[in-house]
Structure 1
Amino acid sequence: MFVDDLHLFCKGDVKSIFIIMETFKRFSSTSGLTINSEKSDFYCNRMSQHVVQRVLQGIGFKKGELPFKYLGVKISHKRLTKINCNVLVDRMIARIRGWKSRKISYSGRLILVKSVLSTIHNHWSQIFVLPVSIMDRIQALCKTFLWEGSDNYSRSPLVAWNVLCMDNEHGVLGLTDSKIWNYATIGKLVWWVTSKQDHLWIKWVDHIYLKGTPWFQYEPTTYSSWAWRKVCQIKTMFQNGYTNGLWNGDIKEYTISSGYNWLLQNTGSKVPWFKIVWNRYNVPKWNFTMWLVQQKRLLTLDRLRKWGMDVPIECFLCGQAPEDHQHLFQQCRFTQQCLQLLANWLGLSSGLLLKPECHLRLRYLSAYARKVCSDAVVGLYYRIWRCRNVCRLEGYVPTPTLLVLQIQEDCNRQIQGCFKGYMKHTDSDWNRLRNINI
């Protein structure tokens, strides 16, 4: 069916149906337009078989079966089941299997989860409250693809999914919680009823269900449709968000994003390093590695030994102390040499680079210079982790000078690709001192 198709509803009796057909005949005799019986269907529910046969003989339509598909969703008189929604899961699996062979990095998978996988169900979510089992399956596929790159779950994730769904300022990835998003989209229907929007559906609901009863005091009956009962359940979630008919106290109009944030309730404290990790000058795969460093979730030797794996203890880069996050990225002799060389290039002290968020507060640096410094620091952490893995697998450790030169080349290339607009003379002088060409 298409968006310009005509749907007519009536009581399931012969009289009502024949009145509609008589109206069509009068319309045809006046306008010259007739019904195409081959493209018309008759749907019914709880009608006796002999009545159905009589109607079909009288109208000349074929009998359709429920549920039927309209505008991409299943239309049915019954509650939406897991079987009806499996098409969403199948679409996600087909997408993931198409990407499986491309060896996509963590950052690339993160972008695909945010922009593709998390949006496949959005159209359905704005119409129905989807079954919990389907929402769990959708989140499981997103989680598995992010950490595994496939649709098959084989190991525990490095970070729990409910933590990842907080925003970037709280130190996580800002992914979408599918269940809460579904509730927030249905919350828009709650807002329409609350504010008595000028919609035909609102007028119908007020006439058939509410009948003058205050919205937040109304309780659905057992004879109400399952979709309406779900809307009433979501209403109780948002009841505390309305004050004197206003959403969230002072916001005049409800939006899905405001409802989502209200349900999510980010109560954690903001982290000082989020601007460094999500700096637009950074290479995306650097961002993810830096984020894992700040979360202390990289698979360092101390974590592997806690899981019972038989691995060495000493740091691969210096061989002088047990490897953990603090040693590898702050105390290791190789790391400290790299930090000093990078600090000399940037004109900062190595102590500031040990706490990456500190250089963002240096007032003598321009906003552009602070972003370049953030880019270099994130690149350093990424390169150190990569050197550690190369040393573990191949036994080769590059010199600190070579590693810092690679970071300088990467930063130069990334800034050339990202910078747009006019550059101040002070920033141009700062670039020349560091051989950054834009």
Structure 2
Amino acid sequence: MVYLTRSIQYAVLNSLFRFHPMCKSLKLINLCFADDLLIFCKGTLPAVRSVKRVLDDFAITSGLIINSGKSHIFFGGVSMADRNRISQDINLAVGSFPLRYLGVPMRPSKWKHTDCEVFIQKFRLKIQNWASRHLSFAGRIQLINSVLLGLRNYWMYIFVLPQSVVKEVERLCRGFLWGVSGQRSKLHIPSWQKVCLPKAYGGLGFRDGSLWNRSMLAKYIWALSFKPDLLWVKWINSIYLKEKSFWNYDLKGDCSWYWRKLCHLKKYFSFAAISAAGMKGKFLSSKLYNSLLTQQKDEYFRTVWSRLILPKHRFMLWQVINSQLLTRDNLKRLHIPLISLLCPVCDGYQENHAHLFFECYLSSRLVHLIFNWLGFAAWPLDFKGWLVWLTRDRRGTKANIVTMVFAATIYSIWTNRNICYFEGYSSSVWNLVQDIKFTTKHSLYLVSNRFNTAQDQLYIHNLLCN
């Protein structure tokens, strides 16, 4: 490729070659991306023939020839007669937009909703493939974060997606997370705005589509401000900025749609915010995104998202702390008709989070037995005191194990409540205790090598033997 590049540069000395009008100032002729080659020249027959001669010479020297089935010629501002003459002479098919490169459609004009159909179809296909599997909420969260939003981020890293596409992606993710009933997601308490907050702010770690899209593309603004040696930055300076600062640039009417979109990002960010998001020569979109959030940090997130807690227990604990389970008091506030508001476990008091987890006889008895096994005093049997208990500093092996066990206890209480509600019977306290012990011991077997001190090993040994 070095030989080809030098040959093309030598062809510039030929008076027949003419630079592309948008590349003349930088004397830009070709770009190489892995095994792909783009060549730019003026849309005249002599200029194209001079490029063709270079390619023919390269084919004779190296044995590499143009693949006519995969190569195309694209025109802009060239008459139809000249297009036909040039394409016949160079023996290449005329390409059409949108041009698809690395799975992404590219066009010189503004994006349309139809350009994103392949993107939306990939989303729907993946969700349909997963629909037949019995996935927990924690499993769905993992798939949304790592696969669905990863696919969305790939496109957002390149373009400002149309708002209709962003909203459709969020609708599909929301439906996959909570389940779909007809055309709407199933009943749930947490709002999508809450879910899209970072975990440190009380959310599930998703990101709001519009704000995240702008935060990702802000890396281009940062590069224009601090990376003058990049080729595309030099091209922008040559064509648009004319050595002016991006922040003082006045948008002209004859610029491309993509440049117009980048310039419009200035109204969402300040120079100080963009500068703060760059660290050690690298731009951090997540840092810029978090700086734009107005919510306070959540004081429970370190407890909720402890690594020792099973993922499905984390999600349940997150819902309990935020009072977002579908208990009967919440269903009443949503105007859902109910036969009774009483707790389905004890059938003696109105069901709410405080009663179910702290006041119900089964729950209080279960907590007492579990914490006797752990060798700790039971958690406070009132909701407010329990929340204060969660904010305490929980460092050390014993504290981490207590966190893991109480999350398993919360999950067990809610699971038993659902059995009472849907199947009409309750497990005994003894069975629930044995289930929690089994889950805890299995988890401790898997992570026991992390605890090195003799005191920690003795404590774990006692738990496993009891």
TM-score (norm 2): 0.85
- Counterpart position of 1:143: 174
**Cα distance in 2, alignment partners of residues 389 and 39 from structure 1:** 59
Structural mapping, 1:219-368, within 5 Å: 219-242=250-273, 246-247=275-276, 253-263=282-292, 265-271=293-299, 273-306=300-333, 307-352=335-380, 355=386, 358=389, 361=392, 367-368=396-397
| Residue 54 of structure 1, CA deviation | 1.5
| Residue 35 of structure 1, CA deviation | 3.5
| Change over 3 Å in CA distance of 1:320–1:151 after alignment to 2 | closer
Instruction: Name which of structure 1's ranges 17-26 and 417-426 shifts more when overlaid on structure 2.
Output: 17-26
Q: In 2, are the aligned partners of 1:169 and 1:270 still within 8 Å (CA)?
A: yes
1:111 and 2:175 correspond: no
1:87 and 2:87 correspond: no
- Counterpart position of 1:401: 430
| Residue 30 of structure 1, CA deviation | 6.3
Partner letter of residue 390 of structure 1? I
| Change over 3 Å in CA distance of 1:115–1:151 after alignment to 2 | farther
| Residue 18 of structure 1, CA deviation | 3.4
**Cα distance in 2, alignment partners of residues 158 and 92 from structure 1:** 24
Map Cα deviations across residues 318-361 of structure 1 (whole Å, 9 max, x no partner): 12211111111111122111121122112222244752662774
Map Cα deviations across residues 50-78 of structure 1 (whole Å, 9 max, x no partner): 11111122222111211121122112111
**Cα distance in 1, alignment partners of residues 249 and 419 from structure 2:** 65
Q: In 2, are the aligned partners of 1:276 and 1:357 still within 8 Å (CA)?
A: no
1:418 and 2:447 correspond: yes
Q: In 2, are the aligned partners of 1:127 and 1:186 still within 8 Å (CA)?
A: yes
Partner letter of residue 285 of structure 1? K
1:192 and 2:214 correspond: no
Q: In 2, are the aligned partners of 1:304 and 1:311 still within 8 Å (CA)?
A: no
| Change over 3 Å in CA distance of 1:194–1:436 after alignment to 2 | farther
Q: In 2, are the aligned partners of 1:106 and 1:288 still within 8 Å (CA)?
A: yes
**Cα distance in 2, alignment partners of residues 334 and 83 from structure 1:** 56
**Cα distance in 2, alignment partners of residues 151 and 313 from structure 1:** 27
TM-score (norm 1): 0.90
- Structure 1: segments with no counterpart, 5+ residues: none
Pick from 83, 107, 110 the counterpart of residue 52 of structure 1: 83
- Counterpart position of 1:389: 418
Size of the aligned set, in residue pairs, is 431
**Cα distance in 1, alignment partners of residues 80 and 253 from structure 2:** 27
Partner letter of residue 133 of structure 2? R
- Counterpart position of 2:42: 11
- Counterpart position of 1:69: 100
Q: What value does the CA root-mean-square deviation take over the aligned residues?
A: 2.6
Map Cα deviations across residues 89-128 of structure 1 (whole Å, 9 max, x no partner): 1111111110101121111101111111111122222221
**Cα distance in 2, alignment partners of residues 362 and 217 from structure 1:** 49
**Cα distance in 2, alignment partners of residues 251 and 39 from structure 1:** 41
| Change over 3 Å in CA distance of 1:187–1:350 after alignment to 2 | same
| Change over 3 Å in CA distance of 1:411–1:353 after alignment to 2 | farther
Structural mapping, 1:24-39, within 5 Å: 24-25=55-56, 27=58, 34-39=65-70
1:212 and 2:243 correspond: yes
| Residue 39 of structure 1, CA deviation | 3.8
Partner letter of residue 279 of structure 1? S
Pick from 158, 170, 173 the counterpart of residue 204 of structure 2: 173
Q: In 1, are the aligned partners of 2:160 and 2:213 still within 8 Å (CA)?
A: yes
**Cα distance in 2, alignment partners of residues 192 and 249 from structure 1:** 10
Q: Secondary structure at the match of 1:6?
A: strand
Q: In 2, are the aligned partners of 1:43 and 1:64 still within 8 Å (CA)?
A: yes
Map Cα deviations across residues 289-336 of structure 1 (whole Å, 9 max, x no partner): 111111111111122233231231211221221111111111112211
**Cα distance in 1, alignment partners of residues 170 and 48 from structure 2:** 45
Q: Secondary structure at the match of 1:10?
A: coil
Q: In 2, are the aligned partners of 1:315 and 1:321 still within 8 Å (CA)?
A: yes
Partner letter of residue 55 of structure 1? I
| Change over 3 Å in CA distance of 1:384–1:156 after alignment to 2 | closer
| Change over 3 Å in CA distance of 1:361–1:180 after alignment to 2 | same
Instruction: Name which of structure 1's ranges 55-64 and 353-362 shifts more when overlaid on structure 2.
Output: 353-362
| Change over 3 Å in CA distance of 1:382–1:35 after alignment to 2 | closer
| Change over 3 Å in CA distance of 1:277–1:33 after alignment to 2 | closer
**Cα distance in 2, alignment partners of residues 31 and 106 from structure 1:** 57
**Cα distance in 2, alignment partners of residues 426 and 21 from structure 1:** 78
| Change over 3 Å in CA distance of 1:27–1:281 after alignment to 2 | closer
Partner letter of residue 463 of structure 2? R
